[in-house]
Structure 1
Amino acid sequence: MAESNSNNTSGIPSVMKAAQQNGYGDARNVLTLRDDVPVPRELSSKQILVRVHAASINPVDWKVLNGNMSLITRFSFPHIPGKDVAGVIVDVGSGVKRFQVGDKVYGNLGMSDGSFAEYARADESAFAIKPNNLTMEEAAAIPLACETSYQALFTKISPPIGEGSKVLICGGSTATGLYAVQLAKAVGAYVTTTCSQRNFGLLEKLGYKTSQTTADQNQVHIIDYNEKDFGKELKGQNYDVVYDCVGGQQQWTSAQEVLKRNGQFITIVGDDTKSVLSVKAIASVGSSIVNRKFWSVFGSLHHNYIMHFLIPNFQNLNDMRTKYIETGKVKPIIDTVFDWRKDGVESLYSLYEKSKSGKAQGKLILKIADEE
């Protein structure tokens, strides 16, 4: 490991409070909260050390904890979980050029994890400058979910959505869905989304007028998936893009009824909503994608099927900040802030359990330190 590039590291402690994952399973069985975990002081040339103020949880976090993705994620235990993070840089590697000590940043630590701790170490490429109009808790709610939708709508499909595009978002009340609605509206798209009636108010909370009958550029068209099949409701309406945030084979089946010729279907879940990665599951997904790609080429309507996996990129975080977040076009909705200083390890258990329940209306945040 290279030496740090900062001479002002005397205030960094040798140990910290951090979540510790000791195996795979339910949070109450495999997670502990310890205050004697070594701070990762040694930095390679491109790494930074961040004093974490807030983190957030995503469905992938509890899927990883449960072991659903152990085929591709192998940890040495104990392991510090958590991907989304916001905080202040306290040390930088000798080759870091984009940041300096004292910068406020936000980012996604990827599959290496580590954000559920008082200090997090990662390559500088995992971070970007924090939006100046957001608190640390709000900033921690952004990276993984918003960047997933940003890439899906602007970089993974061709052409990307823009003014006048007709976009259907399956799961508009999910974290990725809420960001997708905002991003699509920000560029002047016509937006229809599916969600349960219980969550209609989330879109109104963001300031949008809503309608259950039509979509135009001044409002969001909402379909209650418990009452209606969007494939029947919107049949033949020539949507440019269907963005699936919930998964299940029915989304693809219904999408073919509403997409225009050469329309694009992009999913972040696929057919298997349980997301348990096994050799059999991977083979099944691969076969399904090949089959749908075949028909996208040789079928009469040429609907393009895309399975989207996030590849974190700090330039996306910068673009999201300057074009959408700091301009007020995109903002996070927070359901609950859990504070482990008050509730100890129970805050971690509650964080995971509420995320896994699927009942959160907005992002779930883990507060680790007060704003400076």
Structure 2
Amino acid sequence: MKAVIIRRYGATDVLQYEELEQPQIKPDELLVRVHASSVNPIDWKTRKGMLSFLTGNKFPMILGFDVAGEVVAVGSQVTRFRVGDAIYGSTKFPGGAYAEFAAVPENLAALKPKNLSYEEAATVPLAAMTALQALRDLGHILPRQKVLINGAAGGVGMFAVQIAKAFNAEVTGVCSTKNLEFVKSLGADRVIDYTEQDFTAEMIQYDIIFDAVAKRSLAHCKKVLKPNGVYISTLPTPDVLIQGFFSMFFPGQKAKFVMEKPNAQDLVYLKELIEAGKVRTVIDRTYPLQELAAAHAYSESERTVGKIAISGGGV
């Protein structure tokens, strides 16, 4: 099969489009013909070696977590899927989606939302589950709460705005000037242009502040977080870890960081939201698998609005 691999960590030029053996699935896995994948920051951070303490030096390595495609074989223990099913889901760390075929654990997959193309479906899993788990599991979001999403036009932020609205929260999105209308179209009740206004200098206080781009520290946000509010970041920064530790023992503001845990139950829940029209995905650019290096470079530029899709693979 064709796949994009790395044989060492480094810049985008380490991504090589080559021929590899098709993966052998385990009893609890699906063999999926990949129709599409997507790019998340964790993919290029892994490529650069920033997570080498977890990934080690076992090469060649196929990256990519998000996958959407057709089941072509099932392991002996699989009960929820059949050959021919259209699915979306996640591969196991450190990836495997940037290929014609991928091994996908049954417990990390769900049937693809009927109203999404393969490219659209492939942009959902990691980013949307991160947003969902941050707001629901860490923030314990409730109706009518005031929620602020920093980085509301990015991949995670885009889903966070919509998921918060699905919980009937009052949502404020923070983004750049050019993305104001986009964030409004996602359903945000209020939008702040960070180039013109600093949300941490406002008089308004929020029940939940979700920093989806990890650009503002808890110290910056304390004044605009309610006394029992929750600050959530996508990075385990020292102040989040320290405040998070002390907040376990004392009342007051909480600090947490989200580490996405892929699972079938959340994929099914997101599928229901998507098919009900409460959540949609937005693709900024689509690249063929052979041009993955360009897709990584664009993601690293941090100019992405929504998500980057990767088409090809096993189409």
Q: TM-score range by the shorter chain?
A: over 0.9
Q: What CA distance in whole angstroms lies between the structure 1 residues aligned with 2:153 and 2:52?
A: 28
2:199 aligned with 1:230, yes or no?
Answer: yes
May I ask how many residue pairs the two structures share in their alignment?
315
2:219 aligned with 1:243, yes or no?
Answer: no
Q: What CA distance in whole angstroms lies between the structure 2 residues aligned with 1:88 and 1:17?
A: 17
Gaps of 5+ in 1: 1-15, 209-218, 272-284
2:116 aligned with 1:172, yes or no?
Answer: no
What's the CA shift string for 1:296-338, capped at 9, x where partnerless? 754xx7100112111111100011111x111011000001111
The Cα shift of 1:227 comes to 2.1
Give the TM-score normalised by structure 1: 0.81
2:298 aligned with 1:349, yes or no?
Answer: no
Change (3 A) 1:295 1:314: closer
Could you say which residue in structure 2 is the equivalent of 1:189? 169
Q: What CA distance in whole angstroms lies between the structure 2 residues aligned with 1:20 and 1:370?
A: 16
2:271 aligned with 1:321, yes or no?
Answer: yes
The Cα shift of 1:370 comes to 8.1
Could you say which residue in structure 1 is the equivalent of 2:138? 156
Q: What CA distance in whole angstroms lies between the structure 1 residues aligned with 2:185 and 2:206?
A: 26
Q: Which has the larger radius of gyration?
A: 1
Q: What CA distance in whole angstroms lies between the structure 2 residues aligned with 1:305 and 1:362?
A: 26
The AA in structure 2 aligned to 1:309 is: M
Could you say which residue in structure 2 is the equivalent of 1:20? 5
Equivalences for residues 196-275 of structure 1 within 5 A = 196-206=176-186, 208=187, 220-233=189-202, 235=203, 237-248=204-215, 250-271=216-237
Could you say which residue in structure 1 is the equivalent of 2:253? 303
Q: What CA distance in whole angstroms lies between the structure 2 residues aligned with 1:24 and 1:199?
A: 33
2:1 aligned with 1:32, yes or no?
Answer: no
Q: CA RMSD in A?
A: 1.8
Gaps of 5+ in 2: none
Q: Tell me, what secondary structure is at the counterpart of 2:52?
A: coil
Percent of aligned positions that are identical: 38
The Cα shift of 1:291 comes to 4.3
Q: What CA distance in whole angstroms lies between the structure 1 residues aligned with 2:219 and 2:209?
A: 11
Q: What CA distance in whole angstroms lies between the structure 1 residues aligned with 2:163 and 2:217?
A: 21
The AA in structure 1 aligned to 2:218 is: W
Q: What CA distance in whole angstroms lies between the structure 2 residues aligned with 1:312 and 1:370?
A: 23
Higher relative contact order (Cα pairs below 8 Å, separated by 6+ residues): 2
The Cα shift of 1:238 comes to 3.3
Could you say which residue in structure 2 is the equivalent of 1:212? none
Could you say which residue in structure 2 is the equivalent of 1:294? 246
Are the equivalent residues in 2 in contact too, given 1:293–1:304 (CA < 8 A)? no
Are the equivalent residues in 2 in contact too, given 1:230–1:254 (CA < 8 A)? no
The Cα shift of 1:295 comes to 5.8
What's the CA shift string for 1:40-73, capped at 9, x where partnerless? 1x32211110000000000010000000111122
What's the CA shift string for 1:209-266, capped at 9, x where partnerless? xxxxxxxxxx521111122221112x3x331111111214x43123211122211111
Give the TM-score normalised by structure 2: 0.95
Are the equivalent residues in 1 in contact too, given 2:64–2:95 (CA < 8 A)? yes
2:287 aligned with 1:335, yes or no?
Answer: no
The Cα shift of 1:356 comes to 0.4
Q: Tell me, what secondary structure is at the counterpart of 1:71?
A: helix
Q: Tell me, what secondary structure is at the counterpart of 1:293?
A: helix
